[in-house]
Amino acid sequence: MRRRRYTFVGRLTEFFYLSLSHESLENHYRTNFSLIQHHKYSLTELDNMIPYERDIYVALLIQHLEEEEERHKKQG
């Protein structure tokens, strides 16, 4: 029987496939478009982010927008 050899790059590739499996390609492009158009990120900045880093920034942005919406509702 042949033993499967994993290299660092092979394991790294598998990790990123798994980390991106929760998001569709369409959603990825729509989110990038929104971040570029409305929040002044550059495509280079987004492409250079590690996948989970991008998810963290998107979550923080959503939280910030929800807090701003609540603040506006309270002000009248």
Closest CA to 20 of 5, 6, 31: 31
Amino acid letter at 21? S
Tens-place pLDDT, residues 37-75: 999 999 999 989 887 888 899 999 999 999 999 999 999
Q: How far apart are CA 39 and CA 76, in angstroms?
A: 25
Long-range contacts of 28-37 (CB under 8 A, 24+ apart): 31/58, 35/61
Question: Which residue ranges make up each domain of the chain?
Answer: 23-75
What was the pLDDT predicted at 15?
Answer: 59
Return the pLDDT at 59: 92
Q: Please state, in angstroms and rounded to a whole number, the distance separating the CA atoms of residues 64 and 75.
A: 17
Rounded Cα–Cα distance for residues 45 and 42 (Å) = 5
The pLDDT confidence band at residue 25, using thresholds 50, 70 and 90, is confident
Which tens digits make up the pLDDT trace of 26-37? 888 899 999 999
For position 63, what pLDDT does the model report?
95
